[in-house]
Structure formats: C-alpha cells, structure tokens
Amino acid sequence: MKFINQIDLKEKRVLFRFDFNVPLDVSQNITDDIRIRAALPSLNYALDEGARVIIISHLGRPKGKPVPQMSLAPVAKRLSRLLDKQVSLAKDCIGPEVEKMVQELKPGCVLMLENLRYHKEEETNDDEFAKKLACFADVYIDDAFGNAHRSHASNVGITKYVKYCGAGFLMKKEINYFQKQLEKPVRPFVAIIGGSKVSDKLSTLINLIKKVDKMIIGGGMAFTFLKAQGLEIGKSLAEDHLIGQAREILDSAQKLGVKLYLPIDCVVAQSMNAEAVTKIVPVQEIFPDWMGLDIGPATITLFREVIANAKTILWNGPMGVFEIDAFSRGTSAVVHALAGSHALTIIGGGDTDVAVQQAGESDNMSYISTGGGASLELLEGKTLPAIEALEKCIN
C-alpha cells in the first residue's frame, strides 16, 4: 500500500478516516484523548502540504440514527485546541449541505463531518453510501487502525471510488509493530497475555505460541490453565469447555520448547469488591469458596525475572481486576517491570493501555496500540479488511 507521504496532497481534498471513538463523561467531556493526539502527525503533515482536510469518524453505537450524546462536537472542539486551528463540524456526513461545505473548503482548513454511524449504511458497507463519501475526496487516507478489523463503507467500500488511497502515519506504525516487528523479533521474545477469558484470546495464544520464546499467562484466564493442570481453583473464573484446548496449548509449548509461565500464587477474596477481605495463597491452596483476583508477590517476582531477560515484549491483558485497588498490584508491577526493561515493549491496547497510563509509564513504552480488537486480530494472524482494501488500491 501507499502511505500519506508518498501521495501528492497539495491543495487536494484529503478525506481522512480516523478512529475518534473516544470516551465521554456524562457532561460530554472527553476523558481520554489519546486517539485524537495519535492523529496529529498525519493531520499536521497534510496541513503543511496545503491540503483541504475533511475528517470522518464514528463515535459510540447510535445504531443508524442521530443521537446527540454521540455527536463528534466534543472531538471537533478538542482537535481545534490541539491543532490551534478552527475545526468546523458539519451537521451530517453526507448530503447537499455537506457538499457545499466541502466545495467551499480552502487549502489549510479543516472540516469534520458528523458521526458516520448516524447512518446504518456505514456498518453494512453499503456501496451507495461509500460512493457519497468518496465524492468529497481527491485523496483518501485511512488512519483508523482501531476500526481496521471492520468492513465498513468508510474504510473498505470507499477505496473503490477514490483514485488515490493510502494509509496515515498511525496506521503505518501499527502495521510496523504488529506485523513486521513480530515477524522477525529480536530474541528472546516474550508474550504476556492476560485478561479474563481464554475464549477472547484463544486464537492469539495458538498463533503466538509458535512465535515466542517465552509466554506468561495471567489474569482470570490463567485459572482455566491451572484447572487444566488438575488444580482446584475455588470460585475463580474458569471456562470448563476450553480446558481441553488449554491442555493442547500447554502441550504445544512443551513440544516447541517454549517456556510457559502461570501464576504460582494469587490474591484471593470471597467476592470481587473493594471491601472484601483478601489473602495471598499458593495456587495449590485456593479455598473452595474464594476466587483468585490478582497474581501474588511470588508470581510478581517470577514474572519480573522473565521480563528482565527479554529483548522484545508484547503485552495484552491485565494480570487481575486492576480497576479495584486491592487487586491492582500485579498489573502495576508488570507495567513497571516493562518500563524498566531494555526491551522493545509493545502494548496491545484495550485495558492494558489504561493500566500503563494509570501507572504513569506511558512514555517508557516503545509503542502503545490504539486498537484493541484490531491488534488482537493481527496477533491471531488475520488480515484486516481495511488494510487489505488499501493494498488492493491502484494509485
């Protein structure tokens, strides 16, 4: 595919697809603008080239109709501040009024169109809707990695109708870290996979076990593996229907010579709440009516030693219920261990990047992905529809 810096943008109408699906509080204030800031390199490059910039994005799930609480107005306001330039917001993303605003757009100016998902045709990859979006563009740039695993009109269908298509700088970085770096990693290569359920990351585990030198499994999903080893895990989360596949992954690791590490102790409680009484026990001694909610201190020490010798580290998923302080120490310890390592550290989005930010270590990570679902699918070895669409474009 081509990238933004390989396409002539001078005075062209450049239509950017960004992922500005940012969290908002009840007062419509943005609580985390990392996805907006991630778009700045591509936007500033286009503006420096004298482009007429048009932005499309989605926010939330309005299900095909206008929902005022899901307007992109707060995004346009924040982006105006970050660019130090007025970002106008159209009332819709298609229609005569939008066409007029696009026609009147001058070089160096920015126009944001309203939420794509106000139209149900966006998510069904409707061909006519894609054509209507495409008519605004001389050049189409997709920089919405967080949506790249979806086949929608604004990131797949549109590429058939714009002559010049390419990827932005954010998309380029994501592809570089999740494809190129993981294809030929500097070794030892360690994957740290956490989160609550094995079912959410089964394909990722199966794909990665063939690529890594060591794998750490933590979070709620570790208890399915512990149960597969014949341990009693009390009321800890386990997916009994996946115990057989957990055994297969353990067997694969052994056959491939991959060292697979599971928790050796854990923080347990009778309920998942901040007031619960907690204890630290070896994983062989979890009480029948208690549940494991975080890794314990001995496990933290073990995982630190594994991390210390790594040259490439991929992390996706917390080590416990880190949203509750009593069960956050394991995740926090892993964050600090990665930050203090001399490895290339890749954070796979979602809850993991929240944990890194809470620990104040964002600047000490090599790369933090903006796309949880998209990065997971890349880790599963899948081809993302939006990337495939760009690769098919003939500029």
- Between 393 and 239, where is the model more confident? 239
Neighbours of 117 (CB within 10 A): 25
Q: How many other C-beta atoms lie within 10 A of the C-beta of residue 186?
A: 11
How does 14-30 read in b/e, with b if 16+ C-beta sit within 10 Å? bbbbbbbbbebeeeeeb
185-378 homologous superfamily: Phosphoglycerate kinase, N-terminal domain (3.40.50.1260)
Q: What is the pLDDT of residue 86?
A: 97
Say how far apart CA 157 and CA 325 lie, in whole Å. 45
CB 152 within 8 A of CB 127: no
pLDDT, residue 296, reads: 97
Query: Is the fold of 4-172 the same as that of 185-378?
Result: yes
> Rounded to a whole number, what is the distance in angstroms from the first to the last CA of the chain?
9
Buried b (16+ CB within 10 A) or exposed e, 224-254: bbbbbeebebbbbbbbeebbebbeebbeebe
φ, ψ of residue 301 in degrees (nearest 5): -60, -45
Helices 198-208, 243-256: inter-axial angle, 10-degree rounding: 20
Contact 330, 300 (CB under 8 A): yes
| pLDDT for 349 | 67
Please report the pLDDT score of residue 176 as a whole number: 86
The rounded distance, in Å, linking the Cα atoms of 102 and 2 is: 25
How does residue 374 score in pLDDT terms, banded at 50, 70 and 90?
A: confident
Quickly state the pLDDT bin for 395 (edges 50, 70, 90): low
Top CATH class of 4-172 equals alpha beta
Q: Cis omega (within 30 of 0) on the bond before 23? A: no
Q: What digits encode the pLDDT tens for the residues 50-78?
A: 999 999 999 999 999 999 999 999 999 99
Domains in the chain: boundaries: 4-172, 185-378
The answer, yes or no, to whether residue 15 has pLDDT greater than 90, is yes
Mapping DSSP to helix (H, G, I), strand (E, B) and coil, where does residue 140 land? strand
Structure tokens at 285: 């001694």
Q: Write the pLDDT tens digit of every residue in 296-346.
A: 999 999 999 999 999 999 999 999 999 999 999 999 999 999 999 999 999
Whole-number Cα distances in Å, 325 to 264, 275, 279, 360: 21, 10, 14, 16
* pLDDT of 182 strictly over 90: no
Q: How large is the average pLDDT for residues 186-212?
A: 93
Instruction: List % helix, strand, coil for the chain (3-state, nearest 5).
Output: 40, 15, 45
If one compares 32 and 7, the residue with the highest pLDDT of the two is 7
- Residue 328 CA from chain centroid, whole number: 21
pLDDT of residue 350: 65
pLDDT of residue 382: 84
Structure confidence at residue 225 as a pLDDT band (50, 70, 90): very high
**Which residues are part of the catalytic machinery?**
35, 197, 350, 373
- Tell me the whole-structure pTM to 2 decimals: 0.88
Phi–psi pair at 81, nearest 5 degrees: -70, -40
Q: What is the mean pLDDT of the chain?
A: 94
pLDDT, tens digit (0-9, with 9 covering 90-100), for 23-53 = 999 899 999 898 999 999 999 999 999 999 9
Residue 376 pLDDT more than 90?
no
pLDDT band at 270 (very low <50, low <70, confident <90, very high): very high
**Rounded average pLDDT over 246-275:** 96
C-alpha to C-alpha distance for 170 and 156, rounded to whole angstroms? 18
Q: Mean pLDDT across the stretch 188-207?
A: 93
Looking at residue 49, its pLDDT comes to 97
Do 375 and 191 form a contact (C-beta atoms < 8 A)? Answer: no
